[in-house]
Structure formats: C-alpha cells, structure tokens
Amino acid sequence: MSRLDLHLHTTFSDGSRTPTDVLALAGKAQVSALAITDHDTVAGLPEAIAAGRSLGIEVIPGIELSSRWGQTELHILGYFLDWNDLELQRQLTRFQDARHVRNPRIIEKLNALGIDLTYDEVRSLAGNDSIGRPHIARVLLEKGYVTSAKEAFDRYLADGAAAHVPRELPGPAEAIAIIRAARGIPVLAHPSWLDRSEGIYKICEQLKAVGLAGIEVHYSSHRPEQTAAYLDVARRLDLLVTGGSDFHGVTKPDVEVGVGRGQLKVPEALLEPLRKAATA
C-alpha cells in the first residue's frame, strides 16, 4: 500500500506548502519515504526531517538543479547529499544570486507591459532566497492580471513569452559534478521534458559518461508508454530508477503529494538501490 515520492517542492523554493505541510500530506497519501528536492536550496531540510521524524516518514535529503540544454533546460535531482557540505552551500549561493539578477529583469519587462508589480512584492510572497518564476506567477494571480499560474507562464514567463529572461545556468555536467562533490546521487529529472528530436537513450548515455546515476522513470505527467520507454533506457544503461510527483502546491494544482495526477505509484523497492549507491 505504501509508496515513495522522491520529487517534492516546498516554500523554501517555489512550492506553496511548508515542509511540515508536505510531510502531513505525505502521511495521508501513505508515503513511507520521500525526498525534498527544492530548487537550488537545502534550507527546507531541517524542518522536513523533524516533521518526518514525528510522523515516521523517512526524509531523504535532496535537491533539484537546473542546467542549460540548448534552448531548453535539463534538471538534475540529487539524493542523499551531504547537505551541510560547505562547497555545496557556496555553489547554491551562486545560483540564488543569479536568480536575484534575473528576477528584477523579468519585473522590468512586466512593468514595461503595463503591469504594476515590484520585486519586493515577489520577495515578500516568496519569503526565501530561491525565488523563481512560479512566485512571480502567484503575484500576477493575486493581483488579478491572470486567472491561473499556467496563464502567467503562457502569456509572460515561459521560454519565448513576453517577459521571459534567461537565467545563467550551468551545463548538465557541472550540475552533476556539484551533486557528486557533495556525495549525492545525480538523477535526470522528468525526461519527458526533453523528448524532442534527440533520443533519451543518447542523452542519458552522454550524461552517464559524466556521472549521471539514475533517471526519473515515474513522474506525474508520464503516460504508461513513456514510463515503459524510460524504464527500458534505465535497464539498457544500468541506471537507477526513481520517481516522484514534482508537487508544488498552488502553481501545479492538479499534482498531489504521492499520487501525482492520481496515477502515480512509485514502488518502495526503488529506495534500497538508491541508498546503496549513496553508501558505496
């Protein structure tokens, strides 16, 4: 009956629920172990671990790093990392600083489009240092400029939309190296985001050569044939299999902790191989 959820966001990055809330939702969804994978930050982990302890849910320290992949992004999840590692903290501060350079430029573009909002409003809504486009989307929603976060992305924030500003990002090899340096296990997030011209097999083969250890086979929006195809890639390349919901709360209202859009079931048996890789 119980399940895993190895991809969750909290208020420490762009999720709308606190780590304590996320753990409570996980308990209701019969999740036995989970990973908090906030963007560019490990600051939510102490609260999550404490909440997990009181509910009897294992909390695996995690992170999600964005990297540049041609015109799009490739996200790397990191599991079981030494989250107190000083070099890791230094790298994360660098990514957070890049966000503080980019976000005001997005605000300027929105202002030029006649939208009245300030970066202070976004910062106060976010309440943390890993501020991203979903926070801007929420302020646009609260001020009535859009009727959903999706509309905010489609009209203004998505790649190529009216107020888009690219963020300075590392390459995938660098993101993988940062996780490895903190003794974490690097995993390719939501491979379906990449499924365009290049095959996932080729991409994973290339990333494995620079240290990739796994692939997020189970994911909220994967159709059964996608899950099967990624599982096949994992087997052929001897990559670990992981899975998670990518829960964000209000900016992805259709995705719930543990069950995604209702169909997600990440098998508990995936956890031990991941743990073993981390202790090897």
List contacts with Fe ion (CB under 5 A). 64, 75, 189, 246
> Cβ(207)–Cβ(174) under 8 Å?
no
Q: Does 15 bind ligand AMP (CB under 6 A)?
A: no
Packed helices 86-112 and 133-142: angle between N→C axes, nearest 10 degrees:
40
Contacts of Zn ion in 5-44 (CB under 5 A): 9, 14
Q: What is the largest CA-CA distance in the chain?
A: 55
> Cβ(213)–Cβ(232) under 8 Å?
no
Whichever of 126 and 178 has its CB closer to Zn ion, that residue is 126
Q: Which helix (H) or strand (E) holds 147?
A: none
**Least distance from ligand AMP to the Cβ atom of residue 268, Å:** 26
Q: Is 150 left (phi over 0), alpha (psi -120 to 50) or beta?
A: alpha
Whichever of 63 and 229 has its CB closer to Fe ion, that residue is 63
Structure tokens at 246: 């990518």
**Least distance from Fe ion to the Cβ atom of residue 172, Å:** 13
**Least distance from Fe ion to the Cβ atom of residue 265, Å:** 19
Q: Does 62 bind ligand AMP (CB under 6 A)?
A: no
**Least distance from Zn ion to the Cβ atom of residue 99, Å:** 12
Integer angstrom CA distances of residue 202 from 177, 191, 195, 196, 224: 20, 12, 11, 12, 21
Terminal-to-terminal C-alpha distance of the chain: 29
Of 44-52, 132-140, 216-224, 262-270: span binding ligand AMP (CB under 6 A): 132-140
Torsion of CA 141, 246, 222, 140, to 10 degrees: 10
Of 127-135, 139-147, 234-242, 263-271: span binding ligand AMP (CB under 6 A): 127-135
Structure tokens at 204: 């994973």
- Report helix, strand or coil for 212: coil
Q: Among Fe ion, ligand AMP, Zn ion, none, what does residue 150 contact (CB within 5–8 Å per kind)?
A: ligand AMP
> Cβ(208)–Cβ(232) under 8 Å?
no
Whichever of 17 and 110 has its CB closer to Fe ion, that residue is 17
Of 1-9, 76-84, 146-154, 224-232: span binding Zn ion (CB under 5 A): 1-9
Per-residue binding string, ligand AMP, 215-254, x by CB under 6 A, is: ---------------------------------x--x---
**Least distance from Zn ion to the Cβ atom of residue 132, Å:** 6
Tokens 């990624």 belong to residue: 230
- Total chain residues near ligand AMP (CB under 6 A): 13
Q: Cα(126)–Cα(65) distance, rounded to whole angstroms? A: 18
Q: Does 39 bind ligand AMP (CB under 6 A)?
A: yes
Question: What is residue 146's DSSP assignment?
Answer: -
Q: Which residues bind ligand AMP (CB under 6 A)?
A: 14, 39, 66, 132-134, 149-150, 153, 158, 167, 248, 251
Q: Which residues bind Zn ion (CB under 5 A)?
A: 9, 14
